[in-house]
Amino acid sequence: MTQSFIEGRDISYADMERQGFDPSFIDDYQALKRELRPLVGNVTPPNTSIQSNLSGFYIYSDSPNPVELWFNPTAGVDTGWIQLV
């Protein structure tokens, strides 16, 4: 298992499979995890390039440029990003 910001552990598909979870439940759980994690990429500004997820956050990190934090209050759109940092 890998480390994660969610309770310190990231449960993989294989881990859940070994525990006997139903495949449809595992798929739903993994999809929800992806939607709740902040997006990370090297596109700035994210408007018209990055579609927001349920977290609403996008972290731009591309060396040697400083890190930028963006927020979008609407999930599923690629416009409306607001730079916070």
Q: Can you give the pTM of this predicted structure? A: 0.73
Domain boundaries, the chain: 1-37, 38-85
Number of H helices, E strands in the chain: 2, 4
41-44, Cβ contacts within 8 angstroms, sequence gap of 24 or more:
44/68
41-69: pLDDT as tens digits: 999 899 999 999 999 999 998 867 678 99
Q: Mind listing the pLDDT tens digit for each residue in 13-31?
A: 999 999 999 999 999 999 9
Nearest residue to 42 via CA among 64, 18, 27: 64
